[in-house]
A and B are shown apart, each in its own frame.
Chain A
């Protein structure tokens, strides 16, 4: 920008001394000045003069001390000049009116090579400094967010962000749009800033507003388009949030969102590992039991001399052999269900007939547990179903009813309902608590402790999988100590 201004005679003297370099000086981005050996200004950058700074204009020919209203030689800026007069090349950073400058002062030399004064340069580094601070802040925040404990990571970030992004910060967690403040921090706890807690927000939008003279910045953290948490920053009125702050907050929540997503994935993985370990422990137990029985019985077989003992030992071996086979079958079935390789053969199936088949297989067990079964079967219900799979479903439900029915009456009903077969299996036993009901159809879950009831916890999972493959639905109604009712609806005709 060409210099176009009026100036006094001392200014012109300075300009003469700087000579032909003047134009160059006035076009570089920094501010340049020069002093003589007594630190009196001999040149002041036209850019400063142009800004009409009266106090600067009057400074030409005056000592630099005047700039600071003091003759204090210990002022950092004065010390730079003194150092330069001693032949050094000092530099330092200063803030002035909210901006940051890097100042370099160099000695200047006369024709004989003797130090004749100083040349000073000041470069505005406010933007670079802000960028660096932001980068540092975001990098520190990322480091904190790499923790897999999301809750604590967010709190740590809030602590880091005060006072950088505000004088106070709160974290609200959202669960089904219910807001809960889980953390808040104040830069100065003696003078707390009020943090808004009734703000409105939109997914993925960082926004700023002023409430009762307090500037607010609200930054929602989203996982899969759902707001899971919100950073609320508040700053006293002397500070207004600038676009750069919004950008910083935006980048912060992007990192926080990733961190929350990772934490969720980690939790899911941990749960899966726990479930797997439990499964392995149960599986090992289910194998070790029968094996022990067989080992001992074989030993008895070798030692015993009476037929009675031999027969009893053989009976044990046969029984445990079957138990192991059933267990292996269950594992294989699980593998088929998990990989979606369940085979289905669709044919007209009489539902009540299947119930009777299953029941006849259970008759000896039924006598032992003293449960009675009442049947309400509509023999006319015939559907396009898979006989073996339907058998499997009813077997599992009846086995459960007997296991948890406490010997009380069991009811099985089959009837037609608007193009569907309705199958009801009801017991009056233990019942299933609400929290257990929600996961009872998941693999490896069980409503009771492994301690008391064995099994892999796969029965209802397999039932649900088969019912879904038959395009039907399964529902459980239960009350603890009152009993459980499973209701299955299967379409009689398959969708073309």
Chain B
């Protein structure tokens, strides 16, 4: 890890997943910001630094994952931020692709796969 640690935004309404994922990524030296729904995440994105990667759940209250990804991909400032979508439904893969997400992982996620993706997008 470089001193200039990469910031990752995690948007996930499941407390355990969000917390564990944050701890895991932090242990690899990333700076993690957590949001428990799409609306909160958008608020944070409007004022704070642009993260290097966004990991977002598909099924969330207050601005669903779908709306969240669409909003980001339509935004001039945030359009180029890679988005990794998480979903509990296998059918989400196609959906994520059509929305313009950069990757889609089906829960329960393969940790190595997730870490590899994050590493690739933060390089």
| A-to-B contact residues, CB < 8 Å | 281, 284-285, 288-297, 299-300, 303-304, 309, 312-313, 316, 319-320, 450-452
Contacts and interface: CB of A to CB of B under 8 A. Distances in A.
Best-surrounded residue of B20, B59, B106, B107 (most CB of chain A within 10 A): B20
A451 B23 contact: no
Contact of A452 (B27, B61, B88): B61
A452 B59 CA distance: 8
B17 A296 contact: yes
Interface string B88-123: 111100000000000000111101000000000000
The bracket for how many chain B residues form the interface is: 20 to 34
B23 A313 contact: yes
Interface of B: 14, 16-17, 19-21, 23-24, 27-28, 59-61, 64, 86, 88-91, 106-109, 111
A288 B17 CA distance: 11
A309 B22 CA distance: 11
17 contacts: A284-B90, A289-B14, A289-B107, A292-B88, A292-B108, A293-B14, A295-B108, A295-B109, A296-B21, A296-B23, A296-B24, A297-B16, A299-B20, A303-B24, A304-B27, A316-B19, A320-B16
Contact of A285 (B23, B61, B64, B89): B89
B23 A300 contact: yes
A288 B86 CA distance: 11
A293 B64 contact: no
Contacts of B27: 300, 303-304, 309
Nearest to A281: B89
Nearest to B105: A292
A451 B20 contact: no
Secondary structure call for the A interface: helix
A294 B90 CA distance: 19
Nearest to A320: B16
Contact of A300 (B20, B86, B106): B20
A312 B107 contact: no
Given A291-B107, A296-B16, 10 more contacts: A281-B89, A281-B91, A284-B88, A288-B88, A293-B20, A296-B111, A299-B111, A303-B28, A313-B20, A319-B16
A294 B108 CA distance: 9
B107 A292 contact: yes
Contacts of B106: 288
Contacts of A281: 89, 91
B23 A292 contact: no
B92 to A, nearest CB: 10
Contacts of A304: 23, 27
B111 A295 contact: yes
